[in-house]
Amino acid sequence: MANLGFVGLGVMGSEMVNRLLSKGHSVIGYNRTRAKADWLIKEGMKWADSPKAVAASVDVIFSMVTNSPALQAIVEGPDGVLAGLTPGKIYVDISTVSPEYSRSVAEKVRAKGADMVDAPVSGSVITLQEGKLSVMVGGRKSTFDKIKPLLEDIGPKVTYVGDNGLALVLKIACNLSLAVQMLAFSEGVLLAEKSGIPREIAVDVLANSAIASPMIKYRGPFVLNLPEEAWFNVNMMQKDMLLALELGRKLDVPMPSTAVTNEFLTAARGMGLVEKDFAVVFDVLAHMSGVHR
């Protein structure tokens, strides 16, 4: 059993804490909105009043927040994670943020005598609940070796990628494909539907065909019924697409399918669908095709 801390108890973060508790670990957590943590407190999680208090109380600190500004908000300042770090502690950030900014945080962590890795995950809430999440890790190999058993308690597939920031690059590469696949899947469904094939049949056949990636398997049915609570909303996905496009420009990698799919996310935003799961790109394309849900 380890003494762990967790900052950021959103949909994914809270489920990760729940898994860590179920594995017998002691977890102290913090979230900007305490109400989201009530169910975890009932499950045995302890509460802290700030990210600093979390970091000061534990040996390994995890965090999962929405973007680079949100990470800065929990790391910097008198109540931030950095203020609570002492030599020997390990900070594991699971957020999908700018690799460049993550590296700058790692430098500040090391200046405190602690260490940091970036450990973004691939998968959804369902994947996490089923124990099938995969974790990518960037940082010092010696630190990775220390925390690998903890990460395996979150997801069974844990891979060391390389230096700080490289796991984030790989996560961004994964996420851009999710959105691109969803748009291509939507094109196929609408082509079938406008030819006279019922949408349900088109979805069933395509989701059990050669194109059926794990993402298509679990998110393809969203073109029939979107979940009330987004697994990964338009805003979050577009953040990752923009990170991908920024990396593409820096590395001189053309990203035509990413750029086009990003425009559909912008269209979804313009249609007031920003809080919907990013599978709502189907609705955008359907609207353009004269098809309604």
End-to-end CA distance of the chain: 49
Place of tokens 């690799």: 99
The mean pLDDT of 52-57, rounded to a whole number, is 97
Beta pairing, strands 115-118 & 90-93: parallel
pTM above 0.85, yes or no: yes
pLDDT at 48: 95
Which residues on adjacent β-strands are paired with residue 157? 134
Write the DSSP assignment of 175-206 as a string of letters: HHHHHHHHHHHHHHHHHHHHTT--HHHHHHHH
pLDDT at 129: 79
pLDDT in tens, 154-177: 998 999 999 999 999 999 999 999
Q: What's the sign of the alpha-carbon dihedral 48, 50, 53, 55?
A: positive
Question: Which amino acid makes up residue 292?
Answer: H
Q: Which residues are catalytic?
A: 171
* Residue 116 predicted with pLDDT over 90: yes
Spell 213-233 as b/e; 16+ CB within 10 A means b: eebbebbbbbbeebeeebbbb
At residue 243 the predicted structure's pLDDT band, cuts being 50, 70 and 90, is: very high
Domains of the chain: 3-163 (3.40.50.720), 169-289 (1.10.1040.10)
pLDDT at 203: 96
pLDDT at 128: 82
CA-based nearest residue to 287, from 262, 182, 273, 225:
273
pLDDT at 125: 76
The residues near 76 (Cβ < 8 Å, ≥ 6 apart) are 82
The mean pLDDT of 72-90, rounded to a whole number, is 96
How far is the C-alpha of 19 from the C-alpha of 74, rounded, in Å? 23
pLDDT in tens, 8-51: 998 889 999 999 999 999 999 999 888 889 999 999 999 999 99
pLDDT at 2: 79
